Structure 1
């Protein structure tokens, strides 16, 4: 199954005879962007596994949720559709909109690294026709980029991360009545995060991380996933790639040095992993942020 085939909101719109996909792009890190227009349609979303951030780019004044018929859309309005939500939409007239689809894994990583909370404690608050000028401006910037030109595709990825971070900081709340069982204690989680961040250049092992929590590898791996929303190796890789992106943006270090500092065995291994997750090479990514990227 391709990444887009797993996005239920995308597939629901794509199956409509009235909706037309203008462009879409896999931005890496579990983030996917799409731009649509639609007219005279009815669409229903049933418990998608991903989160959707939506912005009305043009028209939409005849669009409403079936359970909220007195509230209508408009250009610049935002909608936040969490994973697991249910909604039915009536589109009268025309609408042009942009979507950012967020994987549960990327949401989980943001909860841990940005909010220092367990992902299962938190949820995106469902919101319809929200006003948020900064987030709307990010969406408008996004759709004005060429998603299929490598340099600009990297800018779309950076914008998407900004949009997700903004949503996490402004649209996330605690789950009601939740009683957590089976995860790591908060002090153990913080100790792990600090240790991983301080040792990204090292060859970390599951046993080494489990030892910090005085747990067997088996129980540690299960409890880590409960607390972090993804397995240890994927969390560590995500943090290494984030550190690499920071160094590429902010320093002129050769790629080989960055690879070693971020825990990759060689520049070629680093380049392959980076391309898999970002859709471009480290050199291309650096070129977006520096006028004359160094060799290396």
Structure 2
């Protein structure tokens, strides 16, 4: 994932002389989190390339959006700032808030997996100061973990995924007036997704997947990305790692068997890919969820 200092919302907060960063971490899978304090400030976020979910932890009753001065924040209030949107904030008094930064690729995976929709059909709906007790509870659990400790960072990643899944299911809506071009037909996308899930333990080639749609590899790759939000190899890798996480949390299979069940050529290849994506080895991931 992009480094924290390349995330526009994080960078805008970090540039403020009034804001103080308490804690931040990359959580893997296109997710990152930060815990902030701020006081008597004004911040503008202009068309970030990532989504941001925020939860007010303490104070915030003097915080409002410049265009809506009558609406004020407060503890456990949640805000959704989608990629590409602009928002302008005024902070009167103190605030302590948590941010969860989400890559567009991770949002795309959620659209396909949870909604059976093409990601380009969907948008995360902007929202300010909403009440959602379940999400606020997850955020408070998230900031209660030590993100510098590998095991707790993995638990934080799991919580972050739950927050994102909840947002996709409750706050994603169809883009209005959109006419899609160049992607796979819905039945092709669905059948292809099912085929990939059923064959994650096998070698899947671009040519094999393209043939299932009667397309050349070149056109298939373009249409796949349009419909799934990621190139074919990245999507398949993401699904293999997701399956691996499920198997590791169950705790039964040896790591070598988990690797084979998820289509990795060897335990070392599996371990390298897993560490790159989640910042921990499969063994460390399993240990984090063993208690």
* Distance in 2 separating the partners of 1:103 and 1:211: 30
* Distance in 1 separating the partners of 2:109 and 2:123: 13
- The Cα of 1:2 is off from its aligned counterpart by 5.1
Q: The residue matched to 2:193 in structure 1 has which SS?
A: helix
* Distance in 1 separating the partners of 2:252 and 2:273: 20
Correspondences of 1:220-239 after superposition (within 5 Å) = 220-239=220-239
* Distance in 1 separating the partners of 2:52 and 2:290: 32
Unaligned stretches of 5+ residues in structure 1:
292-296
Q: The residue matched to 2:277 in structure 1 has which SS?
A: helix
- The Cα of 1:277 is off from its aligned counterpart by 0.7
The question of 1:31 aligning with 2:31 is answered yes
Other-structure match for 2:272 = 272
Q: Work out whether residues 61 and 72 of structure 2, in 8 Å CA contact, stay in contact via their aligned partners in 1.
A: yes
Runs of 4+ in 1 over 4 A off after TM superposition: none
Q: The residue matched to 1:168 in structure 2 has which SS?
A: helix
Unaligned stretches of 5+ residues in structure 2:
none
Other-structure match for 1:148 = 148
* Distance in 1 separating the partners of 2:2 and 2:247: 31
Other-structure match for 1:66 = 66
The question of 1:130 aligning with 2:130 is answered yes
Give deviations 1:140-198, integer Å, cap 9, x for gaps.
00000000111100000000000000000000000011111110000000111011000
* Distance in 2 separating the partners of 1:4 and 1:158: 19
Q: The residue matched to 2:79 in structure 1 has which SS?
A: strand
- The Cα of 1:6 is off from its aligned counterpart by 2.3
- The Cα of 1:4 is off from its aligned counterpart by 1.3
* Distance in 2 separating the partners of 1:290 and 1:53: 29
* Distance in 2 separating the partners of 1:185 and 1:5: 38
Other-structure match for 2:195 = 195
Q: The residue matched to 2:140 in structure 1 has which SS?
A: helix
Q: The residue matched to 2:5 in structure 1 has which SS?
A: helix
- The Cα of 1:265 is off from its aligned counterpart by 0.7
Q: Work out whether residues 251 and 286 of structure 2, in 8 Å CA contact, stay in contact via their aligned partners in 1.
A: no
* Distance in 1 separating the partners of 2:252 and 2:204: 26
Aligned residue pairs: how many?
291
* Distance in 2 separating the partners of 1:68 and 1:38: 20
Q: The residue matched to 1:79 in structure 2 has which SS?
A: strand
* Distance in 2 separating the partners of 1:251 and 1:19: 42
* Distance in 2 separating the partners of 1:249 and 1:46: 39
The question of 1:212 aligning with 2:226 is answered no
